[in-house]
Structure 1
Amino acid sequence: MSEAGRSVDEAAPPAITDPVGTMLDVLDLDSSTARTTEDIFTGSSHPMPSGRIFGGQVLAQAIIAADRTTDDDRVPHSMHGYFLRPGDATRGVTLSVDRIHDGRSFSTRRTQAFQQGVPIFSMIASFQREDAGLEHAAPFPEGVLSPEDAAARAADVQLHPLSRRLLDESPIEVVHAESAVYDRVAGPHVPRQHVWMRTRRPIGDDPALHRAALAYMSDLTIQESVLRAHGVPWALPGLKVASLDHAMWWHRPGRVDDWLLYAQESPSARGGRGLATGRIFTRGGVLVATTAQEITVRVPESAISGD
């Protein structure tokens, strides 16, 4: 489950002094067993205030595990995953990869993440050998504040101490182009937002690591387009949010240690569920990836828009 299910008054674990180093350690999987049709990998978990594993962590770990079972000339182009149970951030993760299919151009892998023998996440991903073909891409959004201007405006905003700690200890620097929705929702209540993201320091040049870290980042803030539409901040008492599934399509290479713009939109919310979609661009306007995620969201009746 995503860390989005946290409560703001829960006790936090000890402070993380090197968030990026912690993320890289978590993504550095060990191979413990190799079989003819299955590969087993193990990884650690990084601390989270709620004690639940951050969804982006297991997304990234699952992609890395699957990637290690494919040929070097094949890269992930899509994944579809389901969060089955809340993960325990105090325990490690075991990842089992099934080599479903290897064709001339595409390879398909199924990855399941386990804790204490119970599956917490299940994913199918497809890998492709790069081929020439038709090409077009959605344009970069117009009128979005630069990360520097957005950061300067956000510097004067006072946040709840736990919200501030979550931001400071994240390996990902996050800057909302409109306004953050941690403690309150300022501005129009619309189902869209733009968020700048990058790792807090360089992570090297390994393309596989950048693709996995992009999956990690893709689970951050995507749920907020649902909340913003109804003026619901993360700090609202009684708010319960959890990720149900996540899909991602990698289109082009991109570095996660350079600024990336995450354009997010929610086309629908109903029946305690909300759907969010996202497009990730380089600062230069190149479309790197597209994402989609459905969440469960429960709010006090008085907080529903229009009440």
Structure 2
Amino acid sequence: MNDALKSLLDLLALEPIEQDIFRGRSRASVVPRVFGGQVAAQALVAAGRTVPADRPPHSLHAYFLRPGDPGAPIVYTVDRIRDGRSFTTRRVVAVQHGKPIFHLTASFHAHEEAALEHQEPMPAAPDPLTLPTQAELLPRYADRFREPDMLQRLLEARAAVDLRYVEEPPFATPGTAREPRSQVWFRTDGKLDGPEDEPLLHVCLVTYVSDMTLLDSVLLAHGRGGWAVGDVVGASLDHAMWFHRPLRADEWLLYDQESPTARGGRGLGTGRIFAADGRLVASVVQEGLVRAPREG
């Protein structure tokens, strides 16, 4: 486990300050606001800490309300909406400077055996170990980033995750429209063991990563390189996930992403996350703000 992953796990170890109230910190980001995946993951941790461990999360629905301040703590207040025989529901509001910046509703489900089960097949993808690491890939495009220190900021922001693009990312081919579909393999950069090897944390880590690349497919459709090269003003607006089967964040997961539509300054990204053995473990949908700089 590298230091970056240890730091990320430390961020997810929220401080309980009162019953159903938790405090979290932030880590450095490549943009002057809190990374959305961090807020979503911390909010899910807060909700999960009020639910029995034998009820893992099966879905979350969230809205990003205001940009988060990376220099200030975030307070997460959990509302215990319902505790049923099979399902538990929690609502979480993240607050900074007296104002809500994020709202999440999560549902947890007790395990049950059911006769009905199916899934779509895993799409074809190369072995992740044949693909370049971030440290190998990103320097190739350093001259295209809008700021001199952008390469280092990107590498530091993603250091906790071993993320590998199947095809060239949007910032590699700005100005060239491509099919609105992208794939990445990812896993944490190190194994989780001891207290960190907890099902809830694995799900929260996947939630964290799910916000990193989901809107890439929107950018590809329009030949935009993204905020890293300065030809898009963007932000996550909402985020929804469904967890279908048990998963491990420290084992390879294929994130298959596409964009069915974009209009009016908003783009929709959808994703399916598969384990390396072909199991569909999660589905993701997000709408994001995607404007050309002159529209921002």
TM-score (normalizing by structure 2): 0.89
How far apart are residue 149 of structure 1 and its match?
Answer: 2.0
Distance 2:134 2:191 in 1: 25
Confirm or deny that 1:136 pairs with 2:118.
yes
How far apart are residue 92 of structure 1 and its match?
Answer: 1.3
Confirm or deny that 1:244 pairs with 2:244.
no
- Residue in structure 2 matched with residue 77 of structure 1 by the alignment: 58
Counterpart of 1:65, as a letter, is A
Distance 1:183 1:177 in 2: 13
Q: Is the 8 A contact 2:56 2:199 kept in 1?
A: no
Equivalences for 1:185-196 in 2 at 5 Å?
185=174, 189-196=178-185
Counterpart of 2:155, as a letter, is D
Distance 1:217 1:129 in 2: 25
Correspondent of 1:179 among 164, 168, 191: 168
Q: For structure 1, which segment, 269-278 or 250-259, has the greater mean C-alpha deviation from structure 2 after superposition?
A: 250-259
Distance 1:145 1:247 in 2: 27
Correspondent of 1:158 among 132, 135, 140: 140
Counterpart of 2:224, as a letter, is V
Cα RMSD over matched residues? 2.1
Distance 2:29 2:134 in 1: 28
Confirm or deny that 1:232 pairs with 2:213.
no
Distance 1:56 1:32 in 2: 23
Q: Is the 8 A contact 1:239 1:298 kept in 2?
A: yes
Give unmatched runs, 5+ long, in structure 2.
Answer: 143-147
How far apart are residue 18 of structure 1 and its match?
Answer: 2.4
- Residue in structure 2 matched with residue 99 of structure 1 by the alignment: 80
Correspondent of 2:16 among 31, 52, 55: 31
Correspondent of 1:258 among 251, 259, 268: 251
Deviation by residue 1:168-191 (Cα, 9 ceiling, x = unmatched): 212112111011223434976111
Distance 1:107 1:237 in 2: 43
Confirm or deny that 1:90 pairs with 2:79.
no
Distance 2:8 2:97 in 1: 22
Distance 1:194 1:259 in 2: 13
Confirm or deny that 1:149 pairs with 2:130.
yes
Change (3 A) 1:167 1:236: closer
Q: For structure 1, which segment, 52-61 or 179-188, has the greater mean C-alpha deviation from structure 2 after superposition?
A: 179-188
Count of residue pairs brought into register by the alignment: 281
Change (3 A) 1:210 1:158: same
TM-score (normalizing by structure 1): 0.86
Which structure has the highest helix share of the two? 2
Q: Once the two structures are aligned, what percentage of the paired residues are identical? A: 47
Change (3 A) 1:210 1:256: same
Q: Give the match's secondary structure for 2:246.
A: coil
Correspondent of 2:187 among 198, 204, 213: 198
Distance 2:134 2:74 in 1: 39
Change (3 A) 1:152 1:120: closer
Distance 2:101 2:215 in 1: 20
Counterpart of 2:180, as a letter, is P
Q: Give the match's secondary structure for 1:182.
A: helix
Change (3 A) 1:207 1:70: same
Q: Give the match's secondary structure for 2:141.
A: coil
Q: For structure 1, which segment, 18-27 or 98-107, has the greater mean C-alpha deviation from structure 2 after superposition?
A: 18-27
Distance 1:152 1:242 in 2: 25
- Residue in structure 2 matched with residue 52 of structure 1 by the alignment: 33
Q: Is the 8 A contact 2:134 2:162 kept in 1?
A: no
Q: Give the match's secondary structure for 1:159.
A: helix
Q: Is the 8 A contact 1:154 1:179 kept in 2?
A: no
Q: Is the 8 A contact 2:74 2:96 kept in 1?
A: yes
Distance 1:67 1:58 in 2: 14
Deviation by residue 1:56-78 (Cα, 9 ceiling, x = unmatched): 00101111110111122211000
Q: Give the match's secondary structure for 2:42.
A: helix
Distance 1:211 1:280 in 2: 12
